[in-house]
Amino acid sequence: MALTPEQQATFREEGVVVVPRLFEEADLAPLEEELSDWVDGRARELLADGRISDAFEDAPFETRYGKIFEQCPQAGLALDIVFLRGPALFEFLCNERLLDAVESLVGPEILLNPIHHLRAKLPQRLVPAEVETYLNVPWHQDSGVMWEEADPVPVVGVWIPLVSATPENGCMQAMPGVARGGHLPHQAEGGTTIVPERLPQVAPVTLSCPRGGAVFQDKFTPHRSTPNRSESVRWSLDLRYQPAGRPTGRPFHPAFLVRSRSDPEAVCDHATWNLRWQETLARLAREPEPRAHRLVR
Ligand SMILES: O=C(O)CCC(=O)C(=O)O
């Protein structure tokens, strides 16, 4: 579904727009099932190894992972898009409604930028210090995690909650109307974050978003996510799309053509996506990974 002219105008002017109804339940269900199967498999393994005492087989998607994690934090290992790489996940990255919306912002030749994550944001009381700034991301722009080569490219961030995101369970916040100012310096201290003296003095908007909706953001829009004060897991995806044939800001990671009106045959399939990430991860395990984030200190 293309964004409405009003939504497109909000995106252009504010650098962020919440689209509360983008997906049907049928778009999300296969992905939720694939993730639930993954949690189930991990729970069974840990139970068999004696590392957890209860696999919580009957717990729903929103809470089961947290209950497993609480017993054994290794439950969270390799829980991200590039490690999971399942068919439903790939199918979702190429979802027609999603790409129609993206097309209305970046045009008909669409590249999936390699910066994409699945976040199972735990209840705050369970968040280990090592992943604090991955789950409670401090103020940053997406340009801060990309090389400068992507500055002129309209990379659009799409944040998709798999359970309704609210202030209670740690939804996102963003600073509207400042994207036009471009890239701001980021530092490593406190997790990749805008240098405090350069943080715009703009009142943030809280981006509550129901399941079925999505938040679209300019790569220069400062955003952060707030702690999850609920007892459920706030599952979400954050994806990035851009016009094909332009730098991604991650030249050492693969990018994938997911829609092409001029050459539909050229779009990537699940097997290719899977293989290219496998090859890339194997290569990066052998050699030092170049620095991905753009940090001034
Ligand atoms: O999901 C979150 O909590 C953070 C996501 C984020 O920082 C992003 O989409 O760039």
User: Does residue 113 have its Cβ closer than 6 Å to ligand 1?
Assistant: no
Flag whether pLDDT at 164 surpasses 90: yes
How far, rounded to the nearest angstrom, does the alpha carbon of residue 89 sit from its chain's CA centroid? 12
Task: Tell me what the pLDDT averaged over the chain comes to.
Answer: 97
Nearest ligand 1 atom to the CA of 159 is: 9
- How many CA atoms does the CB half-sphere of 157 hold within 13 Å? 28
Tokens of 255: 């990018």
Identify the bridge partners of residue 120 per DSSP, sorted by sequence position: 235
What pLDDT shows up at residue 15?
98
> One-letter amino acid identity for 81?
I
CA–CA separation, 113 and 180 (whole Å):
21
Flag whether pLDDT at 289 surpasses 90: no
Q: Are 170 and 228 in contact (CB under 8 A)?
A: yes
User: Does residue 161 have its Cβ closer than 6 Å to ligand 1?
Assistant: no
Q: Are 245 and 134 in contact (CB under 8 A)?
A: no
Flag whether pLDDT at 218 surpasses 90: yes
What pLDDT shows up at residue 185?
98
Instruction: Map residue 211 onto helix, strand or coil.
Output: coil
User: Does residue 212 have its Cβ closer than 6 Å to ligand 1?
Assistant: no
User: Strand runs (DSSP E) across the chain, as ranges?
Assistant: 16-19, 109-112, 117-121, 156-161, 172-174, 186-187, 193-194, 205-207, 214-218, 223-225, 234-243, 256-260
CA–CA separation, 86 and 34 (whole Å):
7
Torsion angle, CA of 200/203/209/213, rounded to 10 degrees? Answer: -50
* Closest to 153 measured CA to CA, from 101, 115, 99: 115
What distance in angstroms lies between residue 170's CA and the mean position of ligand 1's atoms? 10
Closest Cα to atom 2 of ligand 1:
225
For the chain, the structural domain boundaries read 5-24+79-286
The Cα-based distances of 148 to 63, 208, 296 in angstroms read: 39, 30, 13
Closest Cα to atom 10 of ligand 1:
142
> One-letter amino acid identity for 297?
R
User: Does residue 119 have its Cβ closer than 6 Å to ligand 1?
Assistant: yes
pLDDT tens digit string along 75-89? Answer: 999 999 999 999 999
What distance in angstroms lies between residue 225's CA and the mean position of ligand 1's atoms? 6
Residues of the chain with pLDDT > 90, as a percent, come to 98
Residue 104: count other Cβ atoms within 10 Å of its Cβ: 19
Flag whether pLDDT at 43 surpasses 90: yes
Report the CATH architecture of 5-24+79-286: Sandwich (2.60)
pLDDT band (50, 70, 90) for residue 264: very high
The Cα-based distances of 246 to 62, 99, 253, 257, 295 in angstroms read: 38, 18, 14, 11, 22
Element (H, E) at 266: none
What distance in angstroms lies between residue 134's CA and the mean position of ligand 1's atoms? 8
What pLDDT shows up at residue 186?
98
Q: Determine the residue of 159, 168, 221 to mutate for testing ligand 1's pocket, defined as the one with the most ligand atoms within 8 A of the Cβ atom.
A: 159
What pLDDT shows up at residue 1?
84
Q: Are 173 and 205 in contact (CB under 8 A)?
A: yes
The Cα-based distances of 260 to 74, 76, 112, 153 in angstroms read: 40, 35, 12, 18
Strand 223-225 and strand 117-121: pairing? Answer: unpaired
User: Does residue 221 have its Cβ closer than 6 Å to ligand 1?
Assistant: no
What pLDDT shows up at residue 137?
95
User: Does residue 218 have its Cβ closer than 6 Å to ligand 1?
Assistant: no
User: Does residue 157 have its Cβ closer than 6 Å to ligand 1?
Assistant: yes
What pLDDT shows up at residue 139?
98
Q: Determine the residue of 18, 117, 218 to mutate for testing ligand 1's pocket, defined as the one with the most ligand atoms within 8 A of the Cβ atom.
A: 117
What pLDDT shows up at residue 288?
84
CA–CA separation, 143 and 146 (whole Å):
5
CA–CA separation, 50 and 45 (whole Å):
9
Alpha helices in 130-227 (DSSP H): 132-135
Flag whether pLDDT at 206 surpasses 90: yes
| pTM of the complete model beyond 0.95 | yes
